[in-house]
Amino acid sequence: MTLTGWTNSWNLFALTALLLLVLLYLFQRHARRQRTATLFLWDRPEVPPRSGARWHFRRFPLEFYLEALALALLAAAAAGPFFTTREEYPPLAVILDNSFSMRATAGNGETFRTLALPELRRRLEELPGRRIFWFAAGRTPRLLADDRNRFDFERAWTATEDTADLTAALALVRRTVPEAEILVVTDTPPPENLQNVEEIGWISAGQSRPNLAIVNARQGDGRLLAEVVNCSPLPVPARLILTPGNAEHPLMLAPGERRKVVFRLSPEQTASRLQLRLSSEMDVLDFDNERILLPEDETPILVRIQSGLSDTARQDLEAVLNAATGFRQALTAELEVLPPGQPSDAHRLIWHQPVPGRSRPTLTDEPIILSPDHPLTRGLSPDELHWAAVPDIRLPGETLISRGADPVLTALRRLDGKWDFHLNLQPESSNLARRPLWPALFWNLAALLRAERPGAESRNLRSGDLVRLRLPSSKTDSLRLLLPDGTEQLLPARSGRSTFLAPPPGISRIEAENFQEEIAVSPGNPAESDLRRCAPFLRDGMPPANRGRHTVHSWSPLLLLAAILVLALHQILIGKKPEGAR
């Protein structure tokens, strides 16, 4: 819409100077009557016919009109006329709470999400045509669309994530579009740190409602551990049902109670897809009442102990391999334990031992230091550990465990992608095999090597987890991800690996060349399931008066220039000597 107007309309009163100018001219040009005999020698101006005209208007010279024009232009310039070529507003950044709590139903059966829509639409239509940035606030905020027209935000607003990091979303908005007016659509009032930030518009259609949820479910060793919570102020009866098998577990959950339930699984159940469902009449959010668990790959790692190790080392190895469920000895192995210098195409655990007569192992009181961020040392404890090692051996690769400054366990990935683990240990003088670190180290080793197999590192994930996928061929450069809603995504792969954010909750299917895998993503966030924090809240944010950002063009400079030109012309006309004048 184009607007016109005056910046200082009072200055238009300067136009009264025109009246003054007219009076001045009338006074100055008040003709004195003079008799003359030489009238015939004067110019004979064109006189309008007087017949019918009662008033004879005195003609002013051109200078008068130029002066009047200059005065009018100056007065108009002082009044500051302006026009706007179009009306613009700062863009609107809408942050949609994409957590699953938006799916909770209110008393009338509508979800928090649908309850927020009318108010959101009203604010969108308040300033039609403005640019709108759509952000989804989930575990990781992301830009959904940069839209000037009509973006189908309802379709993109899935509300399936296990949390909504509004703070991170606001930071993303302010980084992406700093000038934008921000509108948050969620189900809770602003957090404490945003309560006084009046510039941020807020729409919360949430209501404090009772809710029950499965907040955790894990399968292993023939058992299924489920954890349920009662997020309501009242005791709530519920049933936990496991299929297949239809094992039902009745519950009476106290207000706020969080309870663990263990199901024993049959071998058939262990090998099949499990569905766990929580049923209660008082529940208002169905999304967090169901878990689907896919059978994890628990095939043991095939291991072979080569000759050349000391008897003590071999005994310690066989003891830990036989005790752990993750390994099974075989002739064709995925992991070979061997002394240095022996080739193998499999993963290798190279056990460096002292050469008789050439070096002596030492046992020092130097501290045992574990690498904190490697999967092989995860959960290990160096307490009361005596580690005897050959001091003269330098191990290649990344140090995982060191004794003082000397590495005693390192990891090196070979060019063929296999791992070489170098272990400098004199078992006869060490207590490692009798400490918990020893089986835990091999448990981690089994998990690490199992992750090296083609497929997902874990098939059961929670929203926000990363899917770490290893493909059978390192030449595969892309894979297809079939989402629970039937849509399909094409994801990149590199060196036979791909890592991506867990898709929306549900069963997703990964397909690549000669490979397919299913993963199950579950929402599991007790905080998100707790709807007692939800409450309606509305805030306009930036006042509408401040939203308008007109592209204002002032006529004043142009009028001023025109006035100067008119005055210059006036000066020229005054100063110009008529041709032949003396």
Partner 1 sequence: MNDLFKRTLQTVLARAADTRLAGPRTIGFNGRRLGRRAGNALEFSEYREYRPGDDLRRLDWNVFGRRELLMIKEFSEEVDPRCDLLLDHSRSMAVTPEKSAAAFGLAALLARAALNAGFSLAMLHAADVWRKEPHPESPPDWLATAFDATANPGDGLARYGGTLQRRGLRILISDLLWPEDPQIFLGGFSAGAKQTVLIQILADDELEPVPGDYVMLEDAETGEVRELPIDDAMRHRFRERAARHQEAWRRAAAAHGALLLCFQAGELIPDWDLARLFQAGVLQ
Binding site for partner 1 (CB under 8 A): 28-45, 47, 58-59, 61, 577-582
Q: Which two structure tokens, joined as six digits, stand for 438?
A: 């020893």
Q: 63 vs 88, which CB is nearer to partner 1?
A: 63
- Rounded to the nearest 10 degrees, the angle between the axes of helix 311-323 and helix 437-451 is 70
When the beta carbons of 26 and 197 are compared against partner 1, the nearer one is 26
CA 564 to chain centre: 58
Nearer to partner 1, 43 or 373 (CB): 43
Nearest distance, CB of residue 60 and partner 1, angstroms: 9
Residue among 515, 509, 467 at smallest CA distance from 484: 509
| Minimum separation from the CB atom of position 48 to partner 1 (A) | 12
Query: Shortest gap between Cβ of 59 and partner 1 (angstroms)?
Result: 8
Please state the closest distance from residue 71 (CB atom) to partner 1, in A. 20
Tokens of 330: 């075989």
Helix (H) or strand (E) holding 358: none
- DSSP H or E stretch at residue 274: strand 274-279
Distance separating alpha carbons of residues 25 and 20, to the nearest angstrom:
9
Residue (37 or 331) nearer to partner 1, CB: 37
Contacts of 349 (CB under 8 A, 6+ apart): 335, 336, 337, 338, 421, 423, 445
**25 versus 151: smaller Cβ distance to partner 1:** 25
> In 10 A of CB 22, how many CB atoms?
13
Nearer residue to partner 1 within complex by CB, 22 or 271:
22
Q: Which is nearer to partner 1, 45 or 341 (CB)?
A: 45
Residue 36: CB minimum distance to partner 1, A: 5
**Cβ distance to partner 1 smaller for residue 29 or 148:** 29
| CA 547, chain centre distance (Å) | 26
Q: How far apart are CB 67 and partner 1 at their closest, in Å?
A: 15
CB of 576 to partner 1, least distance (A): 10
Cβ at position 19, least distance to partner 1 in Å: 20
State in angstroms the smallest separation of the CB of 563 from partner 1. 24
Kindly tell me which of 268 and 579 has the beta carbon lying closer to partner 1. 579
CA 360, CA 101: separation in Å to the nearest integer? 64
**CB burial string 52-62: b at 16+ within 10 A, e below:** eeeeeeeeeee
Strand order in the sheet with 223-231: 211-220, 223-231, 258-264
Q: What is the Cα–Cα distance from 381 to 437, expressed in whole angstroms?
A: 6
> Of 544, 439, 531, which Cα lies nearest the Cα of 201?
544
CB of 574 to partner 1, least distance (A): 10
CB of 45 to partner 1, least distance (A): 7
Q: What is the 3-state secondary structure (H, E, C) of 459-497?
A: CEEECCCEEEEECCCCCCCEEEEECCCCCEEEEECECCE
In eight-state DSSP terms, residue 191 is P
Type of residue numbered 510: I
Rounded least distance, CB 39 to partner 1, Å: 4
Rounded CA separation 554/4 (Å): 10
Q: In what order do the strands lie in the sheet with 497-501?
A: 455-456, 466-470, 497-501
Compare residues 264 and 577 and give the one whose CB is closer to partner 1. Answer: 577
Question: Distance (Å, rounded) from C-alpha 149 to C-alpha 135?
Answer: 16
Q: Which residue has the tokens 């060793």?
A: 221
Quick one: residue 308, left, alpha or beta (phi over 0 = left, psi -120 to 50 = alpha)? left
Which of 6, 60 has the CB closer to partner 1? Answer: 60
Distance CA 325, CA 222 (A): 13
Q: How far is the CB of 84 from partner 1 (least distance, A)?
A: 45
SS3 567: helix
Residue with Cβ nearer partner 1 (34 or 307):
34
* C-beta of 260 vs 577, nearer to partner 1: 577
Tokens 């936990």 belong to: 240
The residue type at 426: Q
